[in-house]
Amino acid sequence: MSRLKALQAMIQEDPGDALLYYMLGNEYFNAGQYRECVQAMETYLSLAEDEGAAYRTLAQALTTLGRMAEARQAYEAGIRAARRFDHPGMAEEYQETLKGLE
């Protein structure tokens, strides 16, 4: 069974497990399934408070899909999360990436 199918099956068993959606989103991203990645990451973020990393994956998927305004919003939310959890390097990385999207 593929990792994607295994994660999907685990989510069927426990749809409230935020970490499963995070893992699924990363698997979708790595597989080039960006729409599915966005959906999984948005579900994860609705269930859990992320420290910033999920916003990078979400923003990169949105950028690849050409959804630039949403990608900028994801990076901005990631900056806020990174600062809240004292990850200044991550916040700086996202700020630099945002400059490139303008």
* Predicted confidence (pLDDT) per residue in 54-91, tens digit: 999 999 999 999 999 999 999 999 999 999 999 999 99
**Dihedral (C-alpha) 18, 30, 5, 53: value to the nearest 10 degrees?**
-10
Domains of the chain with bracketed CATH? 3-101 (1.25.40.10)
Q: How confident is the model at residue 35 (pLDDT cuts 50, 70, 90)?
A: very high
Inform me whether the pLDDT recorded for 101 exceeds 90.
no
Inform me whether the pLDDT recorded for 29 exceeds 80.
yes
Inform me whether the pLDDT recorded for 34 exceeds 90.
yes
pLDDT greater at residue 81 or residue 102 = 81
Q: How confident is the model at residue 1 (pLDDT cuts 50, 70, 90)?
A: confident
Q: Tokens 């400059």 — which residue?
A: 99
Alpha-carbon dihedral sign for residues 43, 45, 48, 53 = positive
Per-chain mean pLDDT for the chain: 96
The pLDDT score that the predictor gives to residue 99 is: 92
When pLDDT is averaged across residues 44-60 and rounded to a whole number, the result is 96
